[in-house]
């Protein structure tokens, strides 16, 4: 495996001065040899001028948050990371690699969760290149590699957890976003380690049941919400009835036998738990008539 080797590359500004002086000197020498009609001197001056001219092609720019991977006839020789104008061997190939923070959003994937329910899911992945040599030489196209491996990790994660929790379940995709995001980031990082990529953050951006079961799941969620609300209403109504009976007994307002208590409890629960306003009925006779 090829690891990044950061190299200190000479400043291009200094080399401009050096090459300018060398170019001027070689041209002056060439003119002098022509005037002296020295064949050997003319050839030597021509060679020097040509060499200096070739050296001018060694200049290149390194932008902020960018690196240049240097190769000499196919062999990796190092990476230049210092921004600015730089000069290196003119025979080096200098491939630019961005080390900026980047992100992409995966397409909406249709995957079955751990219970087999089809769901739609998508994620946003924030990443950057930290090892330019691995990114260039270990994979064919590191950007495409990030995309494919991230979606593969997302599919695998979805099959591990349920969409929503039930009794006895642990983590769920909908109810534990922070834990799921951490698990997704770690799984993507494991897959991208060999490409010299660091995953900064990965979060689910879209999560829903697939259209074919969305209506059925919505009705189930609504039923669960109604049951939860009814449970809370009944618990509150029972508490209010108990408080009313205890207060009536404590203040000796009326002495109720068990049958009258049952009737009162039934009436109070009807009033408190009814969805609509109740209509009063006046009893002009006896409870026992």
Tokens, residue 56: 């001018």
Q: Is 246 a member of any domain?
A: yes
Q: 132 with 80, same domain?
A: no
Q: Is 284 a member of any domain?
A: no
Q: Is 126 a member of any domain?
A: yes
Q: Is 127 a member of any domain?
A: yes
Q: Is 199 a member of any domain?
A: yes
Q: 106 with 196, same domain?
A: yes
Low-confidence ranges of the chain (pLDDT < 70): 166-169, 212-230, 233, 237, 248-249, 251-289
Q: Which three-class secondary structure string do you get for 42-108?
A: HHHHHHHHHHHHHHHHHEEEECCCEEEEEEECCEEEEEECCCEEEECCCCEEEEEEECCCEEEECCC
Q: 91 with 112, same domain?
A: no
Q: 72 with 35, same domain?
A: yes
Q: 49 with 110, same domain?
A: no
Q: 200 with 112, same domain?
A: yes
Whole-number pLDDT of residue 197: 92
Tokens, residue 167: 């009794």
Q: 93 with 109, same domain?
A: no
Instruction: Identify the domain boundary among 209, 243, 264.
Output: 209
Q: 161 with 199, same domain?
A: yes
Instruction: Identify the domain boundary among 209, 228, 261.
Output: 209
Q: For 266-289, how does the pLDDT look when each residue is reduced to its tens digit (9 = 90+)?
A: 666 666 666 555 555 645 555 554
- The enclosing domain of 173 has a CATH number of 3.30.479.30
Q: 79 with 121, same domain?
A: no
Whole-number pLDDT of residue 254: 62
Question: pTM surpassing 0.85?
Answer: no
Domain that holds residue 203: 102-209
Whole-number pLDDT of residue 255: 64
- Angle, in degrees to the nearest 10, between helices 12-36 and 39-55: 160
Q: Is 77 a member of any domain?
A: yes
Whole-number pLDDT of residue 35: 76
Whole-number pLDDT of residue 219: 65
The tokens 């001219």 sit on which residue?
53
Instruction: Identify the domain boundary among 158, 192, 209.
Output: 209
**Structurally, how many domains does the chain consist of?**
3
């Amino acid at each position: 495996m090829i690891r990044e080797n950061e190299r200190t590359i000479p400043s291009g500004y200094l080399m401009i001065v050096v090459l300018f002086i060398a170019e001027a000197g070689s041209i002056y020498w060439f003119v002098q040899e022509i005037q002296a009609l020295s064949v050997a001197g003319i050839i030597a001056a021509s060679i020097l001028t040509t060499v200096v001219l070739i050296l001018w092609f060694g200049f290149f720019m390194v932008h902020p948050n960018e690196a240049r991977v240097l190769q000499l006839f196919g062999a990796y020789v190092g990476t230049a990371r210092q921004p600015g104008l730089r000069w290196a061997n003119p025979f080096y190939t200098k491939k630019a690699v961005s080390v900026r923070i980047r992100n992409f959003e995966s397409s909406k994937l249709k995957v079955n969760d751990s219970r087999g329910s089809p769901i739609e899911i998508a994620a946003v992945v924030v990443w950057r290149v930290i090892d330019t040599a691995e990114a260039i030489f270990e994979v064919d196209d590191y950007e495409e590699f990030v995309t494919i491996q991230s979606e593969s990790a997302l599919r695998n994660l979805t099959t591990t957890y349920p969409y929503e929790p039930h009794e006895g379940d642990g983590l769920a995709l909908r109810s534990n976003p922070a834990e799921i995001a951490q698990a997704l980031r770690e799984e993507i990082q494991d897959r991208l380690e060999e490409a010299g990529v660091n995953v900064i953050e990965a979060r689910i951006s879209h999560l829903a049941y697939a259209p074919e079961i969305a209506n059925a799941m919505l009705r189930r969620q609504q039923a669960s919400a109604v049951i939860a609300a009814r449970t809370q209403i009944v618990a509150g109504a029972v508490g209010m009835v108990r408080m009313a009976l205890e207060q009536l007994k404590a203040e000796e307002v009326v002495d109720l036998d068990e049958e009258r208590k049952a009737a009162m409890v039934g009436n109070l629960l009807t009033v408190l738990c009814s969805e609509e306003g109740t209509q009063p009925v006046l009893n002009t006779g006896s409870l026992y008539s």
